[in-house]
Structure 1
């Protein structure tokens, strides 16, 4: 099994955190004793707490991870405003330090059998004003990628463009997840069928519309053997 996998999405708010947490639980369940931790290298949108600034997605990842570690271990770069990370960093007058992201991932890898890394926004989300992007960071880390497709109007174009961009970045797409966000079951099914034929990587989970979003519920939708076979 690979040491880490990166979860990206066709857009923001397509279910990356739901999928990441469900995947962590599915991997833990697949092999008893497997240490699987999550990692949110950067998050924008946070509130002050006893642990300092915390992000809702980061807290969700911390809650399902195998290891009991500080919040900052799971989310080393956290910005207060819920906007594009490079803009939030500019407003906070705090440039994004990718070395913190690098160090955080390496520390978790050393403690884990597998690390599920959740991105922010879509594939090419900017990290700074000098054209640095999350996709470049993933390419530098050479992380295999799992794509979350929000199945709704426009998803075919978004999914195919994302697949093309991931391939062009020089990293490997090892699977995708269909997260159904449209209440028209027939249209959703047809969209998923099209993407299954158009995307070379396998669909490793289909999450039904308005399903229970608890990680323990999401894990059952994963074909974890198929995903591990690609890893």
Structure 2
């Protein structure tokens, strides 16, 4: 049975891609097939193959069977700015419906685990009327919330969880990504998050010198997601 999740973050730069790649790697290690899509990415580098985003490339590396770059990141923009501004400057109209259309074929592959990674936080705009959360609603995807653990993270996490619930979506799990290991009262903050967030914690990822997918996967657990055992399709 295929499982689909949307990877949301409590803010920008909280490690959504780091955690998503780790989850995909953990699934692959258990023999599962994997797929991923980051429909919108800004901050892309111009290469001989066109615009490329480092986050999308990290996800691409953990997809098996393999996907092509355009499938994983159909909307790529060079400036490292809010996606809706980058799209407007590039003359591209982003809408929830357009993103739904590019995500559906990836979901249709029916990989054991498919992740759709967002951009920024839960309410990042797509245009003057819609936010990226409208895409998640249209696809009815359960959400995995990446909490960037640093000063202020409890407020950001609880507000994000409340918005997800208000949008009629299920918070399937959350991950504590320790972006600031010097956070005051770290253990107490983590305990508070566990008490306040209405979903299981899938892992606590420390600040790593080399946060590659394999290393991150060691700190994650897929058990609470009740994923299928591998079907051998990754071989």
**Larger RCO, structure (CA 8 Å, separation 6 or more):** 2
Which protein is richer in helix relative to its size?
1
Deviation at 1:24, TM superposition (A): 0.4
Residue number in structure 2 paired with 1:123: 122
Q: TM-score, normalized by length of structure 2?
A: 0.90
Is 2:87 the counterpart of 1:62?
no
Listed as ranges, the matches of 1:191-210 within 5 Å are: 191-210=189-208
The Cα of 1:100 is off from its aligned counterpart by: 4.4
CA RMSD in angstroms comes to 1.6
In the TM superposition, what is the alpha-carbon distance from 1:158 to its structure 2 partner?
A: 0.6
Write out per-residue CA displacement over residues 125-175 of structure 1, whole angstroms, 9 at most, x where no aligned residue: 00012x211111101110000000011000111111111011111110000
Structure 1 segment 66-81 matched on structure 2, within 5 A: 66-81=64-79
**Which of 225, 228, 235 is 1:227 aligned to?**
225
Cα distance in 2 for partners of 1:2, 1:192 equals 31
Counterpart CA distance in 1 for 2:208 and 2:180 is 9
User: Which residue in the other structure is 1:15 paired with?
Assistant: 15
| Structure 1 residue 98, shift from structure 2 partner | 4.2
Superposition deviation, residue 208 in structure 1: 1.1
1:207 positional shift: 0.4
CA contact (8 A) 2:6 2:141 kept: yes
The gaps in structure 2 that reach 5 residues or longer are 228-235
- For 1:55 and 1:17, how far apart are their aligned partners in 2? 11
SS in 2 for 1:204: strand
Runs of 4+ in structure 1 deviating by more than 4 angstroms, as ranges, are 97-100
**CA separation in 1, counterparts of 2:67 and 2:176?**
31
Contact preservation (8 Å) 1:77, 1:100: no
Aligned equivalents of 1:97 and 1:159: distance in 2? 26
C-alpha displacement of 1:184: 2.9
